[in-house]
Chains A and B, each alone.
Chain A
């Protein structure tokens, strides 16, 4: 599985990022977050705490929400990685983005990409969440600006629009 038996040196690893197969040279213990931002220039994924607490670095790994700061890039080999850059063309994601914009769910914007990914993941699993479920689903994503209320409202609105269509 690993082409990198000598894990201490940089080696080439194949990733699938936003539908594209990409080969990167990195240390196996490089964080997926740093590879995405530094090597691939996908700076829409943010770092807030580096310890899996704030969710700013959320990405989708094989469709599940993960904190990319806690993932050694070696463990992301062969997985399908989606970042905010890769979700822009998804119409359900766009609906969510529009609801965020209209309802004031983004303030300083630093938690916004991670928050959108967490919300998207939630709506994929539960298209019609209750307010409680939204609050639980987003509890791993810290936001210091909004007090979350307008975010929760935006996710509820997007869910409603999603089924209304």
Chain B
């Protein structure tokens, strides 16, 4: 049952500096709430431990996508719908709008934000494998200024990140250098929409003369954090894709996952499907079935 709304404090300072100064006054004392698609669900279940919330929904500083010559910067407050509807994102970072389309229904895509997905830090976060594959960088901001950190090492453990207590994610930066890559993304959930993934994959590869020159394979829901399958990448990189390699990659990927049993699925299933999705990706890659 829901707790009493009067037990919670919620403020909306309205600008990024005002939010940051509030966070700085009492580091860790305030929980930022953007679109509410995670926080309000916990609240509904009576399981929201934070009692003081600060709204960052629709802060103009967080809700824009800047296209620079070498990278794009996606404001952390951009919604999944914003991502799906952005032309450059769709053209150059297609895995991201695909992942955005997986999340919830349309109403949740209109409210859920990319920054929220990152800091909520669920291993099942839909957009996280894509960010891993693109080797995104995050711009973190606090009252003391900004810092840039690689996203691949942002998640430390289950729901633990490198974000400091008075810090916010301001933007996600993606380098514009994937025009030669072919991408593949697939979510396996309990149903086709409005589902929490059991396994989800985002992968990129660049082929030259039939040889895999570069490959990035990222997976969600198979470990306490979103996972890059480095070992699988290693055995595929520099190789020609043939059936034995696909089988080896399938086994390697399955072994590289660290899944658990929970109410949504089993560890064995997640590992097996993780391996299968990698095999499927490589199979399609070699068959030329993926559009770049």
Contacts and interface: CB of A to CB of B under 8 A. Distances in A.
A and B are interacting partners: yes
Interface of A: 1-2, 4-10, 26-31, 50-53, 55, 58, 64-67, 69-72, 74-75, 77, 118, 121-122, 136-142
6 contacts: A1-B14, A7-B53, A28-B9, A31-B40, A75-B12, A122-B106
Interface string B9-41: 111111000000000000000000101110011
A65 B9 contact: no
Contact of A139 (B5, B44, B194): B194
A58 B100 CA distance: 20
B8 interface: yes
A28 B106 contact: no
Contacts of A139: 105-106, 192-194
Interface of B: 2, 5-14, 33, 35-37, 40-41, 43-45, 52-53, 55, 57-58, 81, 101, 104-108, 110-111, 192-194
A139 B195 CA distance: 10
**Most chain B Cβ neighbours within 10 Å, of A30, A58, A139:** A139
Contacts of A122: 106
**Most chain B Cβ neighbours within 10 Å, of A26, A52, A55, A118:** A52
A26 B22 CA distance: 23
A51 B43 CA distance: 9
Contact of B36 (A2, A10, A72, A138): A72
B105 A10 contact: no
A72 B33 contact: yes
A138 B106 CA distance: 8
Contacts of A53: 194
A52 B53 contact: no
A60 B40 CA distance: 18
Contact of A29 (B14, B43, B58): B43
A92 B14 CA distance: 35
Contacts of A121: 106
B58 to A, nearest CB: 8
A69 B2 CA distance: 12
Contacts, number: 122
A2 B8 contact: no
A2 B53 CA distance: 13
A1 B55 CA distance: 11
Contact of B111 (A9, A70, A74, A138): A70
A154 to B, nearest CB: 18
- Nearest 9 A-B pairs (CB), nearest first? A140-B105, A139-B193, A1-B14, A7-B9, A27-B5, A28-B10, A70-B40, A29-B8, A29-B5
Contact of A7 (B10, B36, B104): B10
Given A27-B6, A50-B2, A74 B12 contact: yes
A9 B7 CA distance: 9
B111 A67 contact: yes
Contacts of B110: 64-66
A2 to B, nearest CB: 4
Contacts of B2: 50
A13 B193 CA distance: 35
B45 A51 contact: yes
Contact of A52 (B52, B101, B107, B192): B107
Given A8-B7, A72-B36, 15 more contacts: A1-B12, A2-B11, A2-B13, A7-B11, A9-B6, A28-B9, A28-B12, A30-B5, A51-B40, A55-B105, A58-B107, A72-B53, A75-B57, A136-B101, A140-B106
B105 A8 contact: no
B51 to A, nearest CB: 8
A66 B107 CA distance: 4
A121 B110 CA distance: 11
